[in-house]
């Protein structure tokens, strides 16, 4: 079993829909990242969380440390949000190394 | 925000040749850079951790003589794929940490390099 699990693996939504992507982890962490990877391959860091909730534009990320769970929400989704969303954690036991989830492939249809 | 520039974005090379990929932090200093490899529709796999002024730390199963890493300055790390073979064809991406930030667990990624060995 992977230490970082994401669901769903694939998601198709209609433009304007509210989207939630989930991430569960089984290890102690010092931080959790949500990353966005576009078809060209480049990766953008969306959020880094160690507690609570962060919001940036239409994106909201939450984390529950006790439950070892994080969610990424996209409000009023748009086709340009189509990408792979990756959850990655910084394990307390592995210093600077990130441990990645397998990603959620999101397609938003116009 | 912090920017990491990776070059080239795409490279096609002949089998047996070597390819150098550069990763630069443009507006911050990075004592640590990470090199990843990604196969289609799979997650990123850490290859090595590059530390400025010292030898890189390679993950298990990664050949250090094949994937040479040099981190000569606080803003530049290079990955050289030596004697490339078609099985080395992959997407390579680097990331860097900003030592100047208080929360230096933030990670900034390059644009990636798609290597095709023919």
Q: pLDDT digits over A21-34, tens only?
A: 999 999 999 899 99
DSSP assignment string, A38-106: -TT--EEEEEEESSEEEEETTEEEEEETTTTEEEEEESS--GGG-EEEEEEEEEGGGTT-EEE---EEE
Question: What is the mean pLDDT of the segment spanning B52-76?
Answer: 92
3-state secondary structure of B99: coil
Contact by Cβ (8 Å): B36, B96: no
Question: What is the mean pLDDT of the segment spanning B43-65?
Answer: 91
Asked whether the predicted pLDDT for residue B79 surpasses 70, the reply is yes
State whether residue A57 sits within 8 Å of chain B by CB.
no
Q: How far apart are CA A109 and CA A77, in angstroms?
A: 9
Shortest distance, CA B72 to any CA of chain A (angstroms): 20
State whether residue A42 sits within 8 Å of chain B by CB.
yes
Tokens of B95: 């990331």
Shortest distance, CA B18 to any CA of chain A (angstroms): 22
Shortest distance, CA B48 to any CA of chain A (angstroms): 10
Q: Which of A37-46, A51-60, B42-51, B66-75 has the highest mean pLDDT?
A: A51-60
3-state secondary structure of B88: helix
pLDDT of residue A17: 98
Best A42, A47, A83, A106 member to test B by mutation, with max B CBs in 10 Å, is A42
**How would residue B101 be classed by pLDDT, with cut points 50, 70 and 90?**
low
Q: pLDDT > 90: what percent of chain B?
A: 68
Q: Tell me which residues of chain B have a C-beta less than 8 Å from any C-beta of chain A.
A: 32, 34, 38, 42-44, 46, 49, 91, 93, 95, 97, 103, 105-112, 114
Give B10-40 pLDDT, tens digit per residue.
999 999 999 999 999 998 888 889 999 998 8
Q: Chain B residue with minimal CA distance to A29?
A: B105
Please name which of A88, A81, A89 lies closest in space to residue A107, comparing C-alpha atoms: A81
pLDDT of residue B54: 84
Higher pLDDT, B42 or A76: A76
Phi-psi region of B2 (alpha: psi -120 to 50; beta: other; left: phi over 0): beta
**How would residue B64 be classed by pLDDT, with cut points 50, 70 and 90?**
very high
Question: What is the mean pLDDT of the segment spanning A85-100?
Answer: 88
Question: What is the mean pLDDT of the segment spanning B50-65?
Answer: 91
Q: Which residues of A touch B34 (CB under 8 A)?
A: 96-98
Give A40-88 pLDDT, tens digit per residue.
888 999 999 999 999 999 999 999 999 999 999 999 999 999 999 999 9
Q: Chain A residue with minimal CA distance to B34?
A: A97
């Amino acid at each position: 079993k992977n230490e970082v699990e994401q669901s769903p693996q694939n998601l198709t939504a209609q433009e304007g829909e509210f989207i939630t992507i989930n991430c569960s982890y089984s290890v102690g962490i010092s931080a959790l990242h949500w990353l966005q990877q576009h078809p060209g391959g480049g990766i953008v860091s969306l959020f880094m969380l160690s507690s609570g909730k962060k919001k940036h534009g239409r994106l909201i990320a939450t984390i529950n440390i006790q439950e070892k769970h994080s969610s990424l929400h996209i409000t009023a989704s748009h086709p340009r949000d189509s990408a792979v969303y990756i959850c990655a954690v910084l394990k307390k036991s592995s210093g600077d190394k990130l441990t990645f989830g397998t990603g959620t492939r999101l397609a938003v249809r116009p | 925000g912090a920017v990491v520039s990776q070059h080239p974005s795409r490279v096609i090379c002949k089998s047996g040749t070597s390819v150098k990929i550069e990763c630069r932090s443009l507006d911050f200093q990075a004592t640590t850079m990470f090199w990843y490899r990604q196969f289609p529709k799979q997650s990123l796999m850490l290859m090595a951790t590059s530390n400025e002024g010292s030898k890189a730390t390679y993950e298990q199963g990664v050949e250090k003589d094949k994937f040479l890493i040099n981190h000569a300055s606080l803003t530049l790390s290079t990955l050289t794929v030596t004697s490339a073979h078609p099985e080395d064809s992959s997407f390579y991406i680097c990331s860097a940490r900003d030592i100047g930030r208080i929360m230096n667990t933030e990670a900034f990624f390059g644009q990636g390099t798609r290597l095709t060995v023919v």
